[in-house]
């Protein structure tokens, strides 16, 4: 018998279902979801600032592949170190304090990146900025299930979780769009200047070209500054919106389970570590999404290795993430319409399709299939669609199976696994001699691993059962 079934708290909640539990949903929940979603979007967009403009940043600042990889790696590094503290903070202090603390770290990180520092030392403020942006990640990544449980009714929980969870995907998508639009590709625009200034003997013309190259670098550094200012300004606006109004929870809970007590943080955390029925989907989620997150930050370099430039890679990354958002919202809504109890079947189906898509990517990037540009476009977009579609479904299936352990604990745990996997991936990626081919194979293997883990998982819907079994006298209203 699974540990959740033996939980005294769950047993007492089951016995209390005969009593009346008044529930109510508030229209203002959409404002709460919107503000949180934009902040989470900005967190992921600023975290992935450097991947989409890696070629230009390396050229104008003299950075190496390892420098760019470390800038992205601050996200998983800080997450692995701080995730459990922020999970405790969210469970003990509530959503408002947690979101404001996270938004404050995000704003500080974006402000630091705007400081006027000489180009030779700019790497240090960028690292400091990325560190604080990384510290804002634990709340932004793990709060969607907490927010949906606190503010949304059972028939909207999976969808609202998907909106919050997809914010990270939207942010990465926008980073692939906005980054290359503001910071142009120095290779494609200025290759003749770079070549003539570095590959022929010094002449009077070389002095002119060297001067032009310095001017080109200055222009591109200015473009990067514009990107930093834009991200900082938008972050400040939405942080202010959260300061003005972002309560912990509504006056009346939206569901019976929302009014129930959760296990205390330490008890819940210990239970999660020993509960296979939680660990199976948690490991599946953490490993494959973590590696996918690292793979996404290296997409420009991966595609550059098969002759596709920064601009085209940026557009592919953008549309892949857009496809993922569409898929995540579509399939989460489908699960809600099916009563919330077919999640495992949907996840397995999407995973099998993902394996086929990633095999195609590996064959293209390894040269076994001629990489016509249309094939690359389709394959990259398909990876985003199938992988990102799985994210909110894993959030909910883990929260359901672990209940009455708090959603902050379950989401914090699985996102910690996600960032640990991403950290390992990016550490290996920082070793230049390894190249890029292994990244696609690692992604294929991580998706394939999901299948046996899910087959060993026996799905349970403890939280949903509490809501379904609630007294029929409870009412559900929505205010205007």
Q: Tens of pLDDT along 466-475?
A: 766 654 444 4
Whether residue 180 contacts residue 311, with contact meaning beta carbons closer than 8 Å, is answered with yes
Residue 246 has pLDDT above 90, yes or no: yes
- The pLDDT score that the predictor gives to residue 124 is 93
Residues 6+ positions from 233 with CB-CB distance below 8 Å: none
Predicted TM-score of the model (pTM): 0.75
278 vs 129, higher pLDDT: 129
- For 416-462, what is each residue's pLDDT tens digit? 888 888 888 878 877 766 777 788 898 999 988 889 988 888 877 76
- For 52-63, what is each residue's pLDDT tens digit? 888 888 888 888
Residue 198 has pLDDT above 90, yes or no: no
Residues 6+ positions from 379 with CB-CB distance below 8 Å: 357, 360, 361, 364
Percent of the chain with pLDDT over 90: 20
Percent of the chain with pLDDT over 70: 84
* Best mean pLDDT range from 336-340, 389-393, 475-479: 389-393
- The pLDDT score that the predictor gives to residue 187 is 57
DSSP alpha helix (H) spans, 256-309: 265-273, 276-297, 299-304
pLDDT-derived band at 371, boundaries 50, 70, 90 = low
Domains and CATH numbers, the chain: 3-18+25-470 (1.20.1250.20)
Residues 6+ positions from 427 with CB-CB distance below 8 Å: 73
Whether residue 172 contacts residue 141, with contact meaning beta carbons closer than 8 Å, is answered with no
- For 223-240, what is each residue's pLDDT tens digit? 999 999 999 999 999 999
Q: Evaluate the CA torsion angle 268, 159, 392, 350 in order and state its sign.
A: positive
pLDDT-derived band at 16, boundaries 50, 70, 90 = low
């Amino acid at each position: 018998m699974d540990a959740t079934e033996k939980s005294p708290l769950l047993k007492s909640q089951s016995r209390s279902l005969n009593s009346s539990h008044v529930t109510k949903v508030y229209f203002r929940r959409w404002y709460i979801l919107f503000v949180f979603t934009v902040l989470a979007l900005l967190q992921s967009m600023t975290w992935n600032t450097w991947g989409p403009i890696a070629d230009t940043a390396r050229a104008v600042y003299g950075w190496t592949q390892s420098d760019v990889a470390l800038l992205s790696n601050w996200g998983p590094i800080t997450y692995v170190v701080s995730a459990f503290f922020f999970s405790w903070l969210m469970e003990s202090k509530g959503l408002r304090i947690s979101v404001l603390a996270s938004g404050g770290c995000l704003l500080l990180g974006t402000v630091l990146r705007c400081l006027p520092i000489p180009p030779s030392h700019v790497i240090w403020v960028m690292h400091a900025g990325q560190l604080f942006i990384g510290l804002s990640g634990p709340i932004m990544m793990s709060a969607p299930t907490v927010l949906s449980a606190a503010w949304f009714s059972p028939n909207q929980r999976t969808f609202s979780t998907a909106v919050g969870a997809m914010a990270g995907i939207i942010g990465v998508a926008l980073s692939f769009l906005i980054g290359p639009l503001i910071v142009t590709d120095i290779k494609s625009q200025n290759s003749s200047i770079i070549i003539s200034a570095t590959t022929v003997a010094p002449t009077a013309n070389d002095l002119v070209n060297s001067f032009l190259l310095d001017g080109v670098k200055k222009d591109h550094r200015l473009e990067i500054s514009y990107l930093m200012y834009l991200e900082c300004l938008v972050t400040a606006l939405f942080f202010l919106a959260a300061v003005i109004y972002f309560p912990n929870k509504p006056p009346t809970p939206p569901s019976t389970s929302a009014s129930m007590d959760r296990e205390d943080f330490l008890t819940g955390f210990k239970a999660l570590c020993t509960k296979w029925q939680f660990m199976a989907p948690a490991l599946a989620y953490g490993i494959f999404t973590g590696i996918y997150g690292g793979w996404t930050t290296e997409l420009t370099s991966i595609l550059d290795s098969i002759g596709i430039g920064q601009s085209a890679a940026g557009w592919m990354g953008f549309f892949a993430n857009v496809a993922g958002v569409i898929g995540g919202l579509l399939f989460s809504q489908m699960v809600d319409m099916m009563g919330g109890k077919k999640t495992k079947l949907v996840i397995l189906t999407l995973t099998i399709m993902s394996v086929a898509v990633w095999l195609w990517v590996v064959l293209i990037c390894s040269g076994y299939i001629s990489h016509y540009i249309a094939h690359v476009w389709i394959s990259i977009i398909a990876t985003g669609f199938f992988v990102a579609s799985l994210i909110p479904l894993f959030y909910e299936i883990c929260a359901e199976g672990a209940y009455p352990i708090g959603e902050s604990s379950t989401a914090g745990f699985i996102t910690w696994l996600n960032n640990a996997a991403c950290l390992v991936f990016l550490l290996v990626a920082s070793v230049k001699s390894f190249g890029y081919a292994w990244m696609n194979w690692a992604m294929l293997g991580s998706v394939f691993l999901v299948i046996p883990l899910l087959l060993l998982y026996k799905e349970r819907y403890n939280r949903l059962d509490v809501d379904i079994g609630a007294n029929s006298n409870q009412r559900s209203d929505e205010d205007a």
